[in-house]
A and B are shown apart, each in its own frame.
Chain A
Amino acid sequence: MDILIYGTINSIALALMALGFALVYGISRVPNFAHGALYVITGFITWTLLRTLGLNYLLSIILAIIAIGVVGALIYQFVLIRVRGMATSEIIASYAIGLAILEGLRWGGFKGTTYTLPVFIEGSINIGDIPVDLHRILVVGIGVAIITFLWLFTHYTRVGLALRGMAQDERAALMLGIDSDIMAVVAMALGAMLAGLAGIVLLPLGNIVVEKGYDVLIQAIAVCIVGGLGSWMGAVMAAFLIGFAQILTTVYLGTHFQMVVALLAIILTLIIRPSGLFGQQKELEERV
């Protein structure tokens, strides 16, 4: 029973972490390796607004998410757009930006265990006979809400439809008057905001530490690759797969193995079926 509950919570958390990465890759084919850094820095921005400037919690969350969206758009507009289409340069450039952000934060003194965000709701309830704190329940709720929102957004709004059009066929989208550069900027901003939102929702469960940036990046990549790069629903499915696998290994083998599961999932998926479980197979693009 506790495996079921905590597995679900972990899976939703993973899905939250991965959605931003999946969105950016799905639309502009840019693997955003700065994802983990965006996740962590949002936590620190919120912390600064909340503790140093003494703003309202909700207000600082909103400001932080807007700020991170702008940062994402700027990263795309000034750096990534120039190397678009060169997969390696994209990876190296975005990874370098992420590394610069994370190590810059570390240098700026944001390290140690002093940085925590308050949970949204205190207290815990019992499901069956297992105590679950309310914040984790809220994580599940927010996660489901965001996934639903994304689905509705990409199916019923103009911008969302344009984004999906770009993801499916960029040239056709261009012919229909969709500016692919602007859309890619929008996608990157949206991806960054999703990363930030995930950070704000999940970081209250622990300390805000720089090292989390790397872990989040790996887990997001794991989920996206197992689900199929560029496939959003695949990412959600894969999040459940990896989420439960992680909880099972944690229960039966120990907490050290949690990351091993994610890494092993990446390596095995890439070797056996590079397009992931739910991606479209494009044999010639990914294998010789």
Chain B
Amino acid sequence: MSIEDRRKERLDRGIKVRTDGLYALMSWRELSYLTLPRLVLIFGILILPLVMPSMYWQRVISIVCIYALLAISFDLLAHFVGLVSLGGAFFIGVGGYLAAILNTSFGLPPLLTIPISTLAGATICTVLLLPCLPLRGVYFAIVSLMYPLFLARVIEALDILGGTDGIMGIESFPNRWVEQYFIIAMVLLFLFGVRRLVNQDIGLVFRAVKDNDQAVRASGMSITFYKAMAVFIASAMGCLSGACLVHLYMWSGISLFALDFSILPIAATVIGGGGTLVGPVLGCFILVPISELLRAFGTLRIVFYCLILVAFIVFRSEGIMVYGQRKYHQFERWVKV
């Protein structure tokens, strides 16, 4: 092996350092350095439904946004609180079934069922997950993976809530523009809301819970309380997307608990870059359309995105967004050792 006589040095760009403080307001250049990526994201997402060629692709955008919400919730739980939840389908299922029941049995319109099932669903999920919150690492991951499977089997076995046929005849959104922009607005709201949240004091506690929970406990704070709060926020996002999905498909069934909803957001987070919150959204915008394009190949698309996932986990575990941020904020050069 040859001895490496150079190494790569990474330095923050001057403009990054300047825009960290109040000086950001001093010039248009620095202002745009800060706001441009965010504006590109916001306007990019807002314009997307308008430039899509057909109804079909507009529908795909809605699905992307639903997955994006789930992926943000996974990212929040996994990378900020340290609870790796493999059960995104659990949130989707609870939210979806609640919305379906509220709509068909009580006749509430979608604009009422969605907020109600978001809050009620989040409460139900939090209460159900409460006993598992003390678990760590692989144990929590396994138990959260089992929850959606368990609920699906119970519904199947007891033949309740429509059994294997599911609940049909659910009202759709008033029109497709409301549908599109409602979901998009929710994604943006939660994306920036969660970003704001994790930079507050409570976000600091969340991260402390992830890094060293004994220290949090030693500071006289209840770990379970903070974990429950994080689960509430995350499951609210999951239930919201579940409720939207049910109104989108006008149908709710056991497939809401299917593994797609657990695995795709994780894949998106891994590809987009965990811990960035924007990364998972980006990952969804890459993965879901790819999987739609590959629809003709049937289940081969699952194989395909599993392989992408494995490749990213093994070779590029940082993800696109972290890589992009590094390129944006820093420059690199080789230096002699």
In the complex, the answer to whether A97 meets B306 with C-beta atoms within 8 Å is yes
Given known A87-B141, A260-B154, A288-B136, contact A92–B266 (CB-CB < 8 A): yes
Of A96, A256, A259, A270, chain B has the most CB atoms within 10 Å of the CB of A96
- 1/0 contact string of B142-153 vs chain A (CB within 8 Å): 110011011001
Q: Given A93-B310, A99-B306, 4 more contacts at CB 8 Å? A: A256-B156, A257-B157, A264-B150, A287-B135
Does B213 interact with chain A (Cβ within 8 Å)?
A: yes
Question: When chains A and B are docked, how far (Å) is the Cα of A272 from the Cα of B324?
Answer: 44
In the complex, the answer to whether B153 meets A260 with C-beta atoms within 8 Å is yes
The chain A residues found within 8 Å of chain B, CB to CB, are 31, 79, 82-83, 87-93, 95-97, 99-100, 103-104, 106-107, 218, 221, 225, 254, 256-257, 259-260, 263-264, 266-267, 270-271, 274, 285-288
Question: When chains A and B are docked, how far (Å) is the Cα of A90 from the Cα of B233?
Answer: 26
Given known A107-B298, A260-B154, A271-B131, contact A89–B306 (CB-CB < 8 A): no
In the complex, the answer to whether B153 meets A97 with C-beta atoms within 8 Å is no
Which residues of chain B in 275-319 are interfacial with respect to chain A, using CB atoms and an 8 Å cutoff? Answer: 297-300, 302-303, 306-307, 309-310, 313-314, 317
In the complex, the answer to whether B313 meets A92 with C-beta atoms within 8 Å is yes
Residue pairs across A and B with Cβ atoms less than 8 A apart, 6 shown, are A91-B84, A96-B306, A221-B142, A259-B153, A270-B132, A287-B134
Q: How many residues of B contact A (CB 8 A)?
A: 44
Residue of B nearest to A287 (CB): B134
Does B270 interact with chain A (Cβ within 8 Å)?
A: yes
Does B263 interact with chain A (Cβ within 8 Å)?
A: yes
Does B23 interact with chain A (Cβ within 8 Å)?
A: no
Does B137 interact with chain A (Cβ within 8 Å)?
A: yes
Given known A256-B156, A270-B142, A288-B213, contact A88–B149 (CB-CB < 8 A): no
Does B78 interact with chain A (Cβ within 8 Å)?
A: yes
Given known A88-B84, A104-B300, contact A79–B310 (CB-CB < 8 A): yes
Chain A to chain B: the 7 pairs with minimum beta-carbon distance, closest first: A256-B157, A100-B306, A103-B302, A263-B150, A96-B306, A87-B138, A103-B299
Partner of A93, one of B223, B300, B314: B314
In the complex, the answer to whether A31 meets B142 with C-beta atoms within 8 Å is yes
In the complex, the answer to whether B300 meets A286 with C-beta atoms within 8 Å is no
Does B139 interact with chain A (Cβ within 8 Å)?
A: yes
Question: When chains A and B are docked, how far (Å) is the Cα of A103 from the Cα of B259?
Answer: 12
Question: When chains A and B are docked, how far (Å) is the Cα of A257 from the Cα of B317?
Answer: 40
Question: When chains A and B are docked, how far (Å) is the Cα of A254 from the Cα of B136?
Answer: 35
In the complex, the answer to whether A288 meets B157 with C-beta atoms within 8 Å is no
Does B86 interact with chain A (Cβ within 8 Å)?
A: yes
Given known A99-B263, A264-B150, contact A271–B314 (CB-CB < 8 A): no
Given known A107-B300, A256-B157, A274-B139, contact A92–B309 (CB-CB < 8 A): yes
In the complex, the answer to whether B141 meets A100 with C-beta atoms within 8 Å is no
Question: When chains A and B are docked, how far (Å) is the Cα of A267 from the Cα of B90?
Answer: 14
Taking the closest CB of chain A, its distance from the CB of B171, in whole angstroms, is 31
Taking the closest CB of chain A, its distance from the CB of B205, in whole angstroms, is 14
Which residues of chain B in 156-189 are interfacial with respect to chain A, using CB atoms and an 8 Å cutoff? Answer: 156-157
Question: When chains A and B are docked, how far (Å) is the Cα of A88 from the Cα of B313?
Answer: 10
Question: When chains A and B are docked, how far (Å) is the Cα of A106 from the Cα of B314?
Answer: 25
Taking the closest CB of chain B, its distance from the CB of A103, in whole angstroms, is 4
Taking the closest CB of chain B, its distance from the CB of A107, in whole angstroms, is 4
Contacts of A254 on B, CB cut-off 8 Å? 157
Contacts of B299 on A, CB cut-off 8 Å? 103-104, 106-107
Taking the closest CB of chain A, its distance from the CB of B317, in whole angstroms, is 7
Question: When chains A and B are docked, how far (Å) is the Cα of A287 from the Cα of B223?
Answer: 11
Which residues of chain B in 231-278 are interfacial with respect to chain A, using CB atoms and an 8 Å cutoff? Answer: 259, 263, 266-267, 270
Question: When chains A and B are docked, how far (Å) is the Cα of A267 from the Cα of B313?
Answer: 28
In the complex, the answer to whether A103 meets B300 with C-beta atoms within 8 Å is yes
Taking the closest CB of chain B, its distance from the CB of A213, in whole angstroms, is 12
Partner of A263, one of B146, B259, B266, B313: B146
Question: When chains A and B are docked, how far (Å) is the Cα of A89 from the Cα of B317?
Answer: 9
Given known A82-B314, A99-B306, A288-B136, contact A91–B141 (CB-CB < 8 A): yes
Given known A100-B306, A103-B299, contact A266–B142 (CB-CB < 8 A): yes
Taking the closest CB of chain A, its distance from the CB of B336, in whole angstroms, is 30
